[in-house]
Structure 1
Amino acid sequence: MAIVITNGNYYIYLNQNGKHRKTKDVTQALQYSTIKEAIRYMNHAPIKTDGYYVYDTFTNHVIWKHLTPEEKIELQEQKNGIGNVKRRNNGRIKRKKYSQATRKLIYNKYDGRCQLCGRKILFSEMSLDHHIALSMGGVDDVSNLECTCLPCNQFKSNIAPELFEDRINDIFMYQMEKKIKQPWKWKAVHKLILSCIV
């Protein structure tokens, strides 16, 4: 994933003096290693980045932007809709119960593999995960369910899918850095891994 900041015409880049500037050349665009890093810059320089957004050049999707007043109202209305979801006495969202036949269909759809770690699991070990968490506005419907193992489902919790991927990448990179004791080896491996996951 290549994370850049753009307004659709210009991209943020670093000039020779290390100053943030704007360019029309996407190849010069500053690529951020994480979404959080790009958001941090956007929040640090709100006037310079007015009308800009964080963009993934690999998937061609806007992944974060400052909201307009209208978008804030729309988001609040969506949140209010989430608030109308049926809840238990303890405040937790009341989830649908899916039949064994439905669970078997989901298991077969994903070939019995956990969709978070890729491990082959038994049907009895399967946990149903809402791809987009109910607390994040996801629907409690078969179209939003995937097959996971229980440890992965519990680890993911209600994190948005793209933030979960970033978290896994951050954890992996940190653990690898701790294991590889020679700094020169880590620099080479780090670049190679980033080229594969970015």
Structure 2
Amino acid sequence: MFVGYVLKKTASGTTSYIVESPSGGISKTTDKSQATIFSSKTKIKKIKSHAPKKTSGFIAEELAKPESKSEVISDPIPIPSQQTKEIQSEDMSKRIVFPQETRMSVYNQSEGRCVYCGRFIPFDEMTIDHIVPLSKGGTNYEKNLQCCCKECNLMKQDLLERDFYRKMKEILRHQVKQKIRKIKRSVIKHRP
């Protein structure tokens, strides 16, 4: 099952990975568990064009959710279970209520703006979106969370970002075609 991508480079027997800081800075690590997991190749292209020298020679490696628990890809920012409150619902058993500190950290990383529409969101109206949805193998680790307005989060549902953007393009393309047809009909109707 698809989890995401990491940027990887092997040189002189050493494997390095790209780490993106919350402020957008780029660094390298040899610890795969600290590597940034990108949800789409579009994000990787953006990072590589933003920092071409630092990312030179790095290639995208697809991560898959392993079958056995012992091989699970670890994330360096776990949320301690004693700080979380489980929601008692069978279909939402993986969902948790995030502690205030985690919510504030996610909110500050996006400067209080929805990652999809860019709208400013008051802290008490923010929803937390999973970059890689839980249903697609995502985790509740802070690295997999982002600030989102309620409307965008409802539209995205359990889609990966690339699928969400593809769907939004389809909707926009359809709406533009409808408007163009309407304008053409109006022009034809009102011709002298």
> Whose RCO is larger (CA < 8 A, sep 6+)?
2
Q: If each structure's strand is expressed as a fraction of its own residues, which one has the higher value?
A: 2
TM-score (norm: length of structure 1): 0.48
Q: If each structure's helix is expressed as a fraction of its own residues, which one has the higher value?
A: 1
